[in-house]
Each structure stands twice: as structure tokens, then as C-alpha cells.
């Protein structure tokens, strides 16, 4: 009985030591241990008027506050920018209209990307998804999130 209890005590001591050695030590690994703090961070969504590229002053301030919350972490930030296809233009083909909507979405995304970089987020962490009109999103909007859609 004494041998069994000593063996168990020795094994538990070694198991505890090896578990402590396996604990994450980097900032990225600790991020997932405290993931509950990030669940409160909601995506930002901005609506635009047709042809509008710039964010208003209130939207810029909201973006800056959101960026301040996440700049300490190293996970990617996704920008999903949508723009509607131009309508009722006589000389524009359907293909050219789609290209125009992607161009507008891309320009909006670049502006927001620049604002995020000014707020202290590394540009290599920012993923820009410029999407023209589609089945799910046909409006003029932009969404910023830490989750990939």
C-alpha cells in the first residue's frame, strides 16, 4: 500500500510539472484563454448613401474607440465593404456596372483601413474584402469585425 501511494504521489508530481510546462506563455496563446473578454466586442456596421465614400465624424470616433479596444491583440481585422450596382446608366454594360460597384466598395474599404492604421492597428492584420452587390448584401454598407464571415 505504501508503494502504491508513493508511486501515485510521484506520478501526480510529475504530471503537474509537465502540465505547467505545457501552459501557453505567448500573448497569442493567452488570448484564447481569456476569450470571454472578446465576446462582448461586436462588429461595427456603417451604412452609406449611394456614391458616398467617406465616414462622418461620429462614425470616425466610433471606429477609433473600437480600434482602441482591439489594438492590443494580434488577430486579424476583417473589413467587408459592399456597394450596390449602379442603375439606370445608359452607356454602362452589366459587367462594367459590377466593376464600378466593386471599385466603390474597395475605395471605402481603403479609407477605413487607413483610419484603422491611424488608430494604431498594424496594416498587416487588416483584411479588406471589397464586394460589389450580391444576393446577401445589395446595399451600401461596410462591416468591420474580428470574425471571418
Predicted TM-score (pTM) above 0.75: no
Q: From CA 84, how far away is CA 56, in angstroms rounded?
A: 20
Would you list the domain boundaries of the chain?
A: 43-149
pLDDT confidence of 77, banded at 50, 70, 90? very high
Q: From CA 127, how far away is CA 81, in angstroms rounded?
A: 11
pLDDT confidence of 33, banded at 50, 70, 90? low
Q: Which residues contact 9 (CB under 8 A, 6 or more apart)?
A: none
Half-sphere exposure of residue 120, counting CA atoms within 13 Å on the CB side?
11
Q: Which residues contact 46 (CB under 8 A, 6 or more apart)?
A: 55, 59, 141, 142, 143
Q: Which fold has domain 43-149?
A: 60s Ribosomal Protein L30; Chain: A; (3.30.1330)
Q: From CA 130, how far away is CA 101, in angstroms rounded?
A: 9
Q: What are phi and psi of 77, to 5 degrees?
A: -110, 125
Question: pLDDT at residue 136 above 90?
Answer: no
Mean pLDDT value of segment 71-77: 85
pLDDT number for residue 116:
94
Burial 110-141 (b: 16+ CB within 10 A, else e): ebbbebbeebebeeebbebebbbbeeebeebb
Name the helix (H) or strand (E) containing 132. none
Amino acid at each position: 500500500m505504501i508503494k502504491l501511494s508513493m508511486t501515485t504521489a510521484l506520478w501526480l508530481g510529475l504530471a503537474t510539472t509537465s502540465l505547467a510546462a505545457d501552459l501557453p506563455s505567448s500573448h497569442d496563446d493567452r488570448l484564447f484563454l481569456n476569450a470571454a473578454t472578446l465576446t462582448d466586442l461586436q462588429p461595427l456596421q456603417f451604412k452609406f448613401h449611394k456614391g458616398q465614400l467617406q465616414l462622418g465624424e461620429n462614425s470616425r470616433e466610433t471606429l477609433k474607440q473600437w480600434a482602441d479596444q482591439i489594438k492590443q491583440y494580434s488577430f486579424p481585422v476583417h473589413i467587408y465593404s459592399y456597394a450596390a450596382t449602379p442603375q439606370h446608366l445608359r452607356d454602362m454594360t452589366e459587367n462594367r456596372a459590377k466593376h464600378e460597384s466593386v471599385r466603390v466598395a474597395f475605395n471605402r474599404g481603403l479609407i477605413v483601413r487607413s483610419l484603422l492604421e491611424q488608430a494604431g492597428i498594424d496594416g498587416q492584420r487588416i483584411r479588406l474584402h471589397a464586394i460589389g452587390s450580391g444576393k446577401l448584401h445589395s446595399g451600401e454598407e461596410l462591416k468591420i469585425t474580428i470574425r471571418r464571415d
